Structure 1
Amino acid sequence: MDTSPSRSRTEISGGAHTPRKHDSAHKHVTGSADYIDDMAEPTGTLHGYLGLTDRAHATITSLDLDAVRASEGVVAVLTGADVPGVNDISPSGRNDEPVLAEGKVLFHGQPVFAVIAESRELARRAAKKAVIGYGDLPHVTDVRAAMEADYPLVTDPLKLERGDIEAGLAAAPKRLKGEMRIGGQDHFYLEGHIAFAIPGEDDEVTVWSSTQHPSEVQHMVAHALGTVSNAVTVQVRRMGGGFGGKETQSNQFAAIAAIAAKKLNRAVKIRPDRDDDMIITGKRHDFVVDYDVGYDESGVIHAVDATFAARCGFSSDLSGPVTDRALFHADNCYFYQDVRLVSKPMMTNTVSNTAFRGFGGPQGMLGGERMIEDVAYALGRDPLEIRKANFYGGPGRDVTPYHQTVEDNIIGRIVEELEASSDYQARRAEIIDFNENSPVVRRGIALTPVKFGISFTATWYNQAGALVHVYQDGSIHLNHGGTEMGQGLNTKVAQVLAEEFQVDLDTIRITATTTGKVPNTSATAASSGTDLNGMAAANAAQQIKTRLIAFASEKFSVPAEQVEFIPNHVRIGNELMAFGDFIKLAYQARIQLSAAGFYKTPEIHWDRASGKGRPFYYFAYGAAVSEVSVDTLTGEYQVDRVDVLHDTGRSLNPALDIGQIEGAFVQGMGWLTTEELWWDDKGRLRTHAPSTYKIPLASDRPKIFNVKLADWAENREPTIRRSKAVGEPPFMLPISVLEALGMAVASIADYQVSPKLDAPATPERVLMAVERLKALVADAGMPGEDGADA
């Protein structure tokens, strides 16, 4: 026994609630982190490339691939007929998303064949030699056009309803109607889609996939191969970004690589060019929101009737749950007495849209915030006053449109603290004074809140597993079902395990996610990665600790209560033993030092048919104040300052959480300001490269960027160490940027008219809004730009 005093007995290095760097941060910076394209290729590895169609909607009348097959280095050319199992990778099970299209083209760029060649460049060159005949059909790419053309819905629409909407609207003292268009967004991850398949014995195959959902890739590969899931092993060490784009979109690449590998009995890698990647993979859903709002003179909303129509693309993918979640967040932080919210997931001849950070929630929330803004301008009030007047409150004002009671509401305190710390009121007054005397540059400021529900709305996804091994030298191996895409999940889960065993963080080694170790994993999505996998890892540790405590109690004849894990040691009665020495002793006594942990989120339930339940375990809250300057002659603008106060409960790792908030803010700001998807009249995506699609640059970040965690917050639910999710909730904070731009534009008409900026509010849209209000001022004789009558 070691009885000497030591600093390590009072604390561990890197436990929960401490700021620690990302476990691979140094590798990311130096370029030494291994991604799939960095892996050593076995001798004879082949490379795949996809052949794309060039029609938005057409029948395939002929497919001549002779020149492709005869091209240099080509080993095989695959079509839908070469899929040995089922030619479908639809995550919804609707059989509407072929691995390779057959007979009909449903969007411009849809893959119809795959070339397998000795090198990627040879496969790429060969793919261009196909001759495809088409019979053109009418196509629709726009949401509103799809509604007018009566294009079909891609999935069943959801309706959330509470109260009597007709009576509520009729009784409201005031009423307004409006429409808002909300653009989509490309994921633009640093590492594009890629899959690498190595054939095994019999029907076995191992696939390295850049995916957020290894178990779904496993299932889809098995489905396409015509085999069972235990024949397919999917591995993921890390991704260079995902943001939801690798939840379902990885299926196609993995399936094609695996089919080719098994057919040719050689390793096969497939990685598209960035242009092709952007053309053939899904985006954030575009929305058109139509709303009818009843309210009173004080700005309190009495009734909301709104429809959220979405551009879903050619197949169902995840459009059903995405459009559902849009409705779940259309209330944001606000209570609606009478409410009806309806989704319209519209089919269009575009790539099938998919998951993206927030999963429809940002679009729903933005629609709800537009209603608040319209009410504020109609009443000539600061939008923040209207927000406060409509916040969820106590009994009678605490039930959502989906009939879940808001029990953990802290938005009032967050907004109050941020309003004071950012000096919002004084700055707003100063900005109004500035605008009265500035003929060209106008400024705006806005404070917007966030309430975001945490859990998968598909209840069965709210589960996770983990596998923990303690080796006889005291080192610990951790494998869990989550995937690392740069967000720091592995670091947080390792911190949880370090805390459980009371060992230093460097004692823990996390290995690549693999379906061969933890089965039936849920996607790393819905901000649930740490919540689920952290709890599963803790459960595994607790199983092992229970065995170890029983062993120590028996061997040393002390009560179990006197066996305690303390920093890097175990206290047994009045004596200490180093953790590694204790584990060695337990091994020699044949104590099982491995456990499979499991966790399922409690208390949640959801009945979609009735639109009632508790789909979310808890809510994460936050708020942001953004200040902007706009050049009214060009529409160009800059974000001058941002202040954020965000709720992460008892943060597991404040450094990682602040990084997630900052990154989410800038990515959300890009969605709302610069990132525009544009299809031409032939259905071709023209914004398919960095040259035509503008994500935020380093120079676009707020000039002053203050981010603070609400360190007083603690999750009322027993989540992992009382923390809260941080992946998606802060993405909606930059709604404040859009509304600050709106205020700057509204100053043209003395803040008497809602600016109604659609998203993204590109400089062109801002300029058009400015000109529109100038014309309105001139026509109506309203107060003009200099405060005088126009």
Structure 2
Amino acid sequence: MQRESGEKALGAAALASVGQSLPHDSAIRHVSGSAVYVDDIREPAGTLHVVPGWARDATRGRILSLDLDPVRAHPGVVAVLGPSDVPGKNDVSPALGDEPMFAEEEILFWGQPLFAVVATTREAARHAARKARIEVEDLPPLLTVEDALAADETVLPDYQFRKGSPETGLATAGHLMEGSLRIGGQEHFYLEGQVSLAVPGEDGDMFVHTSSQHPSETQHIIARVLAVPDAAVTVEVRRMGGGFGGKESQANHWAAIAAIAARATGRPCKLRLDRDDDMIMTGKRHDFRVDWKLGHDAEGLLRVVDMRLFARCGYSADLSLGVVDRSMFHADSSYYYPDAMIHSRRLKTHTCSNTAFRGFGGPQGMLAAERMMDALAIRLGVDPLDLRKRNFYREGRDVTPYGMKVEEHATLHAIVEELEESSDYRLRRDEIAAFNASSPILKKGLALTPVKFGISFTLKHLNQAGALVHLYTDGSIHLNHGGTEMGQGLFQKVAQIVAEEFGVTLDKVKITATHTGKVPNTGPTAASSGTDLNGMAAKIGAETIRGRLVAFAAERYQVAPDAISFAGNRVQLGERSMTLGELAREAHLARIQLSAAGFYATPNITWDRPSASGRPFFYFAYGAACSEVTVDTMTGEMRVDRVDILHDVGHSLNPAIDIGQIEGGFVQGMGWLTTEELVWDDRGRLRTHAPSTYKIPTASDVPEDFRVALYASAGNPSPTVYRSKAVGEPPVMLAISVFSAIHDALANLNPGAIPDLDAPATPEAILHAVLSMKRSRAG
């Protein structure tokens, strides 16, 4: 594995903390096992344990009877809670009121909680939960996209983008082509499962430790089910053992159950889902069927695209409005569509409610666009990279299907050109052609695919953040903000920003847990915006305090404000120098406020969904990946031989963390597209609900030749914190290059034929495509 730190990408300014490859703030604790997660918190005396109960033999049906007496009689059981025990609303949905905490009349998916057991031990609660006597009248479940389409069942209204006149484009294009692609879902498989510890306080207060990406929403939902004001609930999150979107809305359910158990018993209550139950009960990445048509000229230049996105959302809306919208926003990938129709349907099925997942729908839309490119390249007999470059956004061809102008398309071109050269794409293309000509069984494939990913929440009000900064009289700094740390290095980056503002070393900055009592009404840590929003809010808070210090010192020591500087834990006041702590003490004695609440709202964005118009993204993050694979056409097995990545992070705040995010995102995307397959049986039961049946990538799946570099950016042209760019989600879509490379390898079996390959490209899917290629050749 080769890495390039990307120092050139840091810009010309000499910075002490920002731009440095500093270790994650919890790195040592992670590897030593001393990092405290929710399940590691010392349990208060008298803590009880909560386990949800569900009908293990029923997938969808009317509840005829529910006998919980055997559950109550089990040794160690303290309470059994159901819908009638919810003090407030029996609803844990983020918005639409369609997700009951406990099912009341009808079971809508296999695994839906009906009640909760509260016991003295977790083991007692688990055994007791299985003793319920449940009688259900089975109803036929809708399980697939086709089931939902036939029944015309949706969780939200249909939605579309129109650009130009797609009907005219299809009628007048010189050449037409169409196809269909199935895109599988993905289990989050965070290392730390869903877990919450609720501790009751006085006057109905509730303090909850939880593993949530959205503490404020968790607070609101707990208050809703308890029928108390939001101010009576405090939620704290120090760290998560992974989230990936699976704890953006789905953590709320389990925190709320723990809270009502604590209210009912008056004792601390902890709920930690069993891994199997976690996978059965919680939502996944949305799976899609995408049907597409395109019109093009003889050279492969696109004239029109008509894309239909059918998303399986599960039994409730959850976050499907935003997820499927973002799949539409990225259905262009990096390509200009003169005329376009991007249409979506959010389909209701009797399966778990699908939810946010890293990329938030963007990967699905982008994968469909890249499949179109690969299929068209085969049809025209041209190199797929040449076709891609021909259709890239460029001057005069720079307006998206949703009407936003792509202002930084030159960066896309520069990254692809540089990676094409550094990866030896053309030379390797020739070498692979020679290999395939002499190898009847093993086939190699190569693909270089781009990434253009919009950064901002498309719900405008989520693009805001707050931070709280305290400067103490010894020169130490207390830092708190609304973002959550799930291993991605957010806390470390924001600490570096604050250290830079005060000119201190990182040991002077105390990172503290996300806490709804310190920074209220926060948005989720999602949409790759954690550092953009919270880093800027913390910077503004630090600047406010520093500004007060400068004004105080300028007057006290009669020096010009521009003669005052902060560096090396000291403050230079003209010819005089003192420590930051010394100045802070003097300011405190002079009654200068040394605390500030920073607040930031992303500028220059707007999106009017009803009219499908505006500027939904502050900027785009760009990247490209070149992947080489070898496919065994006899077994369907596949190996990734080499990966080259060049990714744009603007001026990197921490190159080491950014490279780690790129590597991790790529591997997670590779898992989604190659090994991670979700399987429901014909009754609606999830069959892949444990590591034994669901395969995430392991160390052996990571390509041995893995080259990652940061693009030498001149800095984000948008005014982000230190001109950096987001890095959380965009790298997931770099893995599309692996899927395209597999497609490329299979295309060698029958030149001119298009492989019938769906995602994930498991060995079974690859063999299916191999057989289809052989049949088309025989035909």
Other-structure match for 1:29: 31
CA distance, structure 1, for counterparts of residue 567 and residue 71 of structure 2: 66
**1:563 Cα shift?**
1.9
**1:572 Cα shift?**
1.0
CA distance, structure 1, for counterparts of residue 733 and residue 36 of structure 2: 32
Other-structure match for 2:399: 399
**1:390 partner letter:** N
**1:101 partner letter:** A
Other-structure match for 1:59: 62
Is the CA contact (8 Å cut-off) linking 1:472 and 1:580 kept in structure 2? yes
| Residues 501-520 of structure 1 mapped to structure 2, 5 A cutoff | 501-520=502-521
3-state SS, counterpart of residue 551 of structure 2: helix
Please say if 1:623 is aligned against 2:624.
yes
Is the CA contact (8 Å cut-off) linking 1:13 and 1:505 kept in structure 2? no
Please say if 1:310 is aligned against 2:311.
yes
**1:144 Cα shift?**
2.1
Please say if 1:584 is aligned against 2:574.
no
Please say if 1:362 is aligned against 2:363.
yes
Is the CA contact (8 Å cut-off) linking 1:12 and 1:568 kept in structure 2? no
CA distance, structure 1, for counterparts of residue 166 and residue 748 of structure 2: 34
**1:561 Cα shift?**
2.2
| 1:206-225 alpha-carbon deviations (Å, 9 max, x no partner) | 00010000000000000000
Other-structure match for 1:115: 117
Other-structure match for 1:170: 171
Percent identical residues: 59
Please say if 1:99 is aligned against 2:97.
no
Please say if 1:760 is aligned against 2:744.
no
**2:705 partner letter:** I
Other-structure match for 1:656: 657
**1:633 partner letter:** M
**1:755 Cα shift?**
1.3
3-state SS, counterpart of residue 734 of structure 1: helix
Is the CA contact (8 Å cut-off) linking 1:14 and 1:505 kept in structure 2? no
Other-structure match for 1:666: 667
**1:573 Cα shift?**
1.9
**1:13 Cα shift?**
9.2
CA distance, structure 1, for counterparts of residue 713 and residue 244 of structure 2: 29
Other-structure match for 1:555: 556
Other-structure match for 2:76: 73
CA distance, structure 2, for counterparts of residue 758 and residue 144 of structure 1: 16
**1:442 partner letter:** K
**1:162 partner letter:** K
**1:495 Cα shift?**
0.4
3-state SS, counterpart of residue 154 of structure 1: strand
| 1:20-75 alpha-carbon deviations (Å, 9 max, x no partner) | 11000010101000001111111110000010123221000000000000001000
**1:158 Cα shift?**
2.0
| Residues 565-576 of structure 1 mapped to structure 2, 5 A cutoff | 565-576=566-577
Other-structure match for 2:140: 138
| 1:253-290 alpha-carbon deviations (Å, 9 max, x no partner) | 11011001011100000011100000000000000001
Other-structure match for 1:286: 287
CA distance, structure 2, for counterparts of residue 670 and residue 404 of structure 1: 32
**1:82 partner letter:** D
Other-structure match for 1:600: 601
CA distance, structure 2, for counterparts of residue 360 and residue 718 of structure 1: 26
CA distance, structure 2, for counterparts of residue 356 and residue 713 of structure 1: 30
CA distance, structure 2, for counterparts of residue 20 and residue 35 of structure 1: 23
3-state SS, counterpart of residue 75 of structure 2: coil
Is the CA contact (8 Å cut-off) linking 1:12 and 1:504 kept in structure 2? no
**2:128 partner letter:** A
**1:605 Cα shift?**
0.2
**2:114 partner letter:** V
Is the CA contact (8 Å cut-off) linking 2:678 and 2:686 kept in structure 1? yes
Other-structure match for 1:776: 776
3-state SS, counterpart of residue 749 of structure 1: coil
Is the CA contact (8 Å cut-off) linking 2:753 and 2:776 kept in structure 1? no
CA distance, structure 1, for counterparts of residue 14 and residue 408 of structure 2: 32
**1:117 partner letter:** A
Other-structure match for 2:354: 353
**1:579 Cα shift?**
1.7
| 1:100-141 alpha-carbon deviations (Å, 9 max, x no partner) | 111100001100000000000000000000010111111111
Range with bigger deviation, 624-633 or 11-20: 11-20
Other-structure match for 2:225: 224
**1:360 Cα shift?**
0.3
CA RMSD of aligned residues (A): 1.0
CA distance, structure 2, for counterparts of residue 123 and residue 712 of structure 1: 55
Decide whether aligned partners of structure 1 residues 167 and 685 sit closer, same or farther in structure 2, where only a CA change above 3 A counts.
same
**1:119 partner letter:** T
CA distance, structure 2, for counterparts of residue 642 and residue 262 of structure 1: 53
**1:777 partner letter:** R
Please say if 1:154 is aligned against 2:155.
yes
| Residues 206-605 of structure 1 mapped to structure 2, 5 A cutoff | 206-395=207-396, 397-409=397-409, 410-605=411-606
| 1:585-621 alpha-carbon deviations (Å, 9 max, x no partner) | 2222221110000000001000101111100000000
Other-structure match for 1:748: 749
CA distance, structure 1, for counterparts of residue 157 and residue 569 of structure 2: 55
CA distance, structure 2, for counterparts of residue 509 and residue 155 of structure 1: 44
Other-structure match for 1:707: 708
> Unaligned stretches of 5+ in structure 2?
1-12
**1:208 partner letter:** H
**1:367 partner letter:** A
Other-structure match for 1:4: none
Is the CA contact (8 Å cut-off) linking 1:12 and 1:503 kept in structure 2? no
**1:567 Cα shift?**
2.8
Please say if 1:675 is aligned against 2:682.
no
**1:15 partner letter:** S
CA distance, structure 1, for counterparts of residue 261 and residue 94 of structure 2: 22
**1:14 Cα shift?**
5.8
| Residues 31-50 of structure 1 mapped to structure 2, 5 A cutoff | 31-50=33-52
| 1:419-459 alpha-carbon deviations (Å, 9 max, x no partner) | 00000011011101110100111100000000000000000
Is the CA contact (8 Å cut-off) linking 1:160 and 1:340 kept in structure 2? yes
Other-structure match for 1:17: 19
| 1:193-238 alpha-carbon deviations (Å, 9 max, x no partner) | 0010000011200000100000000000000001110000000000
Other-structure match for 1:688: 689
How many residues align? The count is: 765
CA distance, structure 1, for counterparts of residue 563 and residue 742 of structure 2: 62
**1:756 Cα shift?**
3.3
**2:30 partner letter:** H
3-state SS, counterpart of residue 157 of structure 2: coil
TM-score normalised by L of structure 1:
0.96
CA distance, structure 2, for counterparts of residue 530 and residue 500 of structure 1: 15
CA distance, structure 2, for counterparts of residue 721 and residue 712 of structure 1: 12
3-state SS, counterpart of residue 203 of structure 2: coil
CA distance, structure 1, for counterparts of residue 705 and residue 560 of structure 2: 57
| 1:323-366 alpha-carbon deviations (Å, 9 max, x no partner) | 00000000011000000101111000000000000000000000
CA distance, structure 1, for counterparts of residue 479 and residue 158 of structure 2: 41
TM-score normalised by L of structure 2:
0.97
Please say if 1:201 is aligned against 2:202.
yes
Decide whether aligned partners of structure 1 residues 577 and 12 sit closer, same or farther in structure 2, where only a CA change above 3 A counts.
farther
CA distance, structure 2, for counterparts of residue 568 and residue 407 of structure 1: 40
Is the CA contact (8 Å cut-off) linking 1:288 and 1:308 kept in structure 2? yes
**1:570 Cα shift?**
1.1
CA distance, structure 2, for counterparts of residue 605 and residue 482 of structure 1: 22
**1:12 Cα shift?**
9.9
CA distance, structure 1, for counterparts of residue 766 and residue 502 of structure 2: 55
Other-structure match for 2:85: 82
Is the CA contact (8 Å cut-off) linking 1:143 and 1:311 kept in structure 2? yes
Is the CA contact (8 Å cut-off) linking 2:183 and 2:287 kept in structure 1? yes
Range with bigger deviation, 501-510 or 524-533: 501-510
Range with bigger deviation, 555-564 or 176-185: 555-564
CA distance, structure 2, for counterparts of residue 317 and residue 33 of structure 1: 31
**2:757 partner letter:** L
**1:761 Cα shift?**
0.3
